[in-house]
Structure 1
Amino acid sequence: MVGNATSNTLEEHNSPPLRAQENVLTFIPADISKPPDGGYGWVIVGCNFTINCFTWGVISAYGVTLSYYLDNNVFPGASSLDYALIGGLNFGVAMLAASPVNWITRRYGHHIPMFVGILLQSFGFIAASFCHDQIYQLYLSQGVLVGLGVGFLWIPSIAILPQWFEKKRSVANGICSAGSGIGGIVFSFATSAIIRKISLGWALRTTGIVSGGMNLIAAALIRSRNKEIQPYLHPFDLKLFKQLSACLLLAWGFIVMFGYITILYSLPDFSRSIGLSSSQGATVNAVLSLGTAVGRPLIGLLSDRYGRIEVTGYATLTCAITVFGLWLPAQSYGLLLLFALISGAILGVFWMAIGPLCAELVGLKELPSLLALNWAAVAGPTTFAEVIALKLRRPNSGRPYLYAQVFAGISYLVASAIMLALWYDQRRKKNSASLRTW
């Protein structure tokens, strides 16, 4: 009687459930590895939002800098492919850093690589501001150092967010991903204005100093739940290739990046090719980022409600439709702004969806390992997509970017077919599991 009374009293106060065995009350421990879906998790959302803003947001403004490089003989002897490859290195080197970053995180925790990343990114932009005449200097500073900085800072952070959310995982990730859109807006206008009124050098220095300070605050506040979850953190886990779903996700990311980088970096120069001014080109780039800021939280909300694979597949297909339906016929400022706004909301669906999708397919323990494979898979396309796009460009024709536009549209179309295959594979597994249970 005493035991029952005690149990009832404790249950009324929301204590952990009790089990009676031989007149001894035993507490059943709660599952501490289960994401809390809130609490300090919202601070993590703020930290990740800031990191996205001052890493990918900063990099997305490279389209403005690229347009300046293409129109001005800043580095004598440098070609348009040189400048495209430098922008691609921001993504490619960041992705290639995934395996060593995972190893360092497993050994020393997440703060060490993040602080190293802040130092590398800031120094890369500041060093680039003093580069003159020799293009290899820009390769090393604005290309390699900035790319390494982004990789060391961002890669540990993206694996932390899913540890704090389950039911709200996609919407939380969508809010974080919107940071890149806000950063893109701010730095597109700021870079263009500083270049016009002061110089390119001061635009790069300002970017390095401001992004470094903000990232330092975010990295200091971020906390992981690695002790509770104990993720494997394999730098390159080959056994994941045995899973068809993981292979399909890797293939989707590989293909979709060709379309993403082509649109992201080509729009400002495409604007100039149809007779718009450099300030109008910067505005187009900013509107693209505005679409990102608005669209990614919405995609996250829809993903949590209607299915992450389903919404990701629809968004990928819609990207293909907007390229062929809006970008191909765009010869006016108004239509180009409309395309930038709509496509901005969905073209970067990879960055919004990849964390939740990996967690859904393999669980939190394998999450960092599958993410590392995804970063390795997209390193090639992120590095060389804009190089391919500029190689396809026909400067002396009436429509210089026609082939590059088709290339981007086909990339999204093929990627949407791969996501359909992933959806079918997951549906087949669920049906098989249901039959076994029955």
Structure 2
Amino acid sequence: MPEALEFSFDGSAYSQSTSSNIDDCDYPEGGLKAWSVVLGAWCAMVPSMGLLNSLGALQAWTSTHQLKDYSESSIGWIYGAYTFFLFLGGAQFGHILDSHGPLYVIVPGSVGMVLSLIFLSLSEEYYQIFLSFSILGGISASTLFTPSVAAVGHWFNKRRGWATGIACTAGGVGGCIFPLIILFAAPKIGFAWSIRIIALICAVLCSVACLTVRTRLPPKKEKLSLEIGALGDIKYASASLGVFLVEFAVFVPITYIISYALDAGHGEQISYAILVFLNLGAIFGRYLPGIGADRIGRFNVMSANCLMCSTFTLILWLTGNLVDPRNLGTIISYAVIFGFFCGTAISIAPVCISQVCEIEDYGKRVGTTWTLVSIGTLIAIPIAGAIQQLNNGAYYGLIIFGGTLYLSLTLAFAISRGISGGWALRTKF
């Protein structure tokens, strides 16, 4: 259950409003087994979240090659559908983790992820890319992401934000490596073989994940459920709303930053490299805020990071677009800064859910949240593409859309923090 501490002005704790039903001593908080689970979760999330953070590279390539005759909105449905299926299976796969253990989801997910990339490498038509990448790839990614995040929560409590942040740096690492492979390998050996190289990397990493991801608590046999009734708990419902808005907003800049740079007249190499800069920032953004979140509160850190994303999107990126869209320094600066602050969205969001539920239900609750989130991720990218089309290809409307979303979710997390942990500014929650 939630842990909320209030601090005096000198930083010492003077009261604890709530406490966990499971003693902190029950969590190893480290050791070979615990850190091997973090390693396994990291290996599982390089393919799933790495590809998610590479959507900009895939969108830019396919829109100028295989799908060059399709509109931005139509292409957006492919990558929106990938995120939709990634999060849609959250409740089901989280439940399987809680009731049967991780191997029942990690193994089939690993096989499915590798097959989806092989099929993608053979795809030329819209429906082929949609079936191989969006549906098979998205569902497979879901089996790797949700159980891995939840498994880490079985081994850490006080340091859960830090441990989850370390595991989630995988998305940033994959988001750096995969676009670089496409950028440098595709022009020389073809897009198909560059995707097969990615498939080989994913096969090796998924093998490690199958051997190392383990849960600590005994299986909890229950009937499969989305736990929709849990939304009757205002604390869980408000936290889920915040996570919903986070995932709705985060993929707009990630998906369109390369197309923006190409439209501004920059070369293909530097434009693809901008996504790498964004993911480099995300690596540190997923690790460092996790340390701070464990010390000053997970909801506090989420609120602050969302505010920073909104500020830099509406000030730095929007201003740069209106004043001089060809200014490469502005684009790179925004990519690195936004990457750092948006990295928290993936790493700390599930930890926020863990603060408003019992750890035995963590897999199912975070899975239910991701299932609700899937609706937002399905429509966010196509909506952004439709806004761009409405503005005759200009990006200012898309940028305002993303910045406004971040501003709204800042308020959502601040309100959720007040409901769950208290309204006092000194509250650690």
1:338 correspondence with 2:333: yes
Stretches of structure 2 that go unaligned for 5 or more consecutive residues are 1-21
Shift of 1:258: 2.4
Distance 2:59 2:134 in 1: 12
1:53 aligned residue = 46
Is residue 131 of structure 2 the alignment partner of residue 137 of structure 1? no
- 1:339, 1:231 → 2: CA distance? 47
User: Is 1:165 aligned with 2:195?
Assistant: no
Distance 2:116 2:25 in 1: 38
| Worse overlay, 408-417 or 39-48 | 39-48
* Counterpart selection for 2:243 from 249, 253, 271: 253
Q: 2:185 aligns with which of 194, 207, 213?
A: 194
1:67 to 60, 67, 77: 60
Partner of 2:6: none
Residues 232 and 356 from structure 1, CA distance in 2 versus in 1: closer, same or farther, beyond 3 angstroms? farther
Does the Cα contact within 8 Å between 2:24 and 2:157 map onto a contact in 1?
no
Instruction: Report the identity percentage.
Output: 21
Q: Secondary structure at the match of 1:372?
A: helix
Aligned match for 1:405, one of 387, 399, 405 = 399
Quote how far apart the aligned CAs of 1:224 are: 0.7
TM-score normalised over the length of structure 2: 0.87
Please report how far the alpha carbon of residue 271 of structure 1 lies from its aligned counterpart in structure 2 after TM superposition: 0.7
Between 1 and 2, higher relative CO (CA 8 Å, sep ≥ 6) is seen in 2
Quote the Cα distance in structure 2 between the aligned partners of 1:284 and 1:407.
21
* Cα separation, partners in 2 of 1:318 and 1:76, compared to 1, 3 Å: closer
Equivalents in 2 of 1:294, 1:411: separation in Å? 23
Is 1:242 aligned to 2:232, yes or no? yes
Q: How far apart, in 2, do the equivalents of 1:253 and 1:354 lie?
A: 6
Show the counterpart of 2:295: 305
Q: How far is 1:104 from its partner?
A: 3.6
> 372-381 or 231-240: which moved more?
231-240
Structure 1: gaps of 5 or more residues: 1-29, 432-438
Kept in 2, the 8 Å contact 1:232–1:369? The answer is no
1:372 aligns with 2:364: no
Q: What residue in structure 1 maps to residue 11 of structure 2?
A: none
Task: Return the alpha-carbon distance in structure 1 between the equivalents of residues 30 and 70 of structure 2.
Answer: 50
Q: CA deviation at 1:329?
A: 2.0
Aligned to 2:30: 38
Q: Indicate if the aligned counterparts of 1:102 and 1:234 stay in contact, CA closer than 8 A.
A: no
Q: Which moved more, 1:103-112 or 1:338-347?
A: 103-112
Q: TM-score, with normalisation over the residues of structure 1?
A: 0.86
In the alignment, structure 1 residue 226 sits paired with structure 2 residue 220: no
**Partner of 1:54: helix, strand, or coil?**
helix
Instruction: Tell me, yes or no, if structure 1 residue 422 matches structure 2 residue 416.
Output: yes
The CA deviation at 1:176 is: 1.1
Deviation at 1:232, TM superposition (A): 6.2
Describe how 1:101-116 pairs up with structure 2 within 5 A. Answer: 101-106=93-98, 108-116=100-108
* Residue type at the aligned position of 1:392: I
Distance 1:296 1:271, change over 3 A: same
C-alpha displacement at 1:339, in angstroms?
0.6
**1:3 corresponding residue in structure 2:** none
Are 1:279 and 2:269 an aligned pair?
Answer: yes
SS at match of 2:60: helix
* One-letter identity of the residue aligned with 2:111: L
Question: 2:204 is matched with which residue?
Answer: 213
User: Does the residue aligned with 2:356 lie in a helix, a strand or coil?
Assistant: helix
Aligned partner of residue 393 in structure 1, secondary structure: helix
User: CA separation in 2, counterparts of 1:255 and 1:79?
Assistant: 26
CA distance in 1, matches of 2:63, 2:68: 11
Aligned to 1:152: 143
CA distance in 2, matches of 1:106, 1:94: 19
CA contact 1:64–1:281 (8 Å) conserved in 2: no
Question: Which residue is 2:10 aligned to?
Answer: none
In 2, the alpha carbon distance for the partners of 1:186 and 1:420 equals 35
Matched residue of 1:329: which SS?
helix
Superposed CA RMSD: 2.2
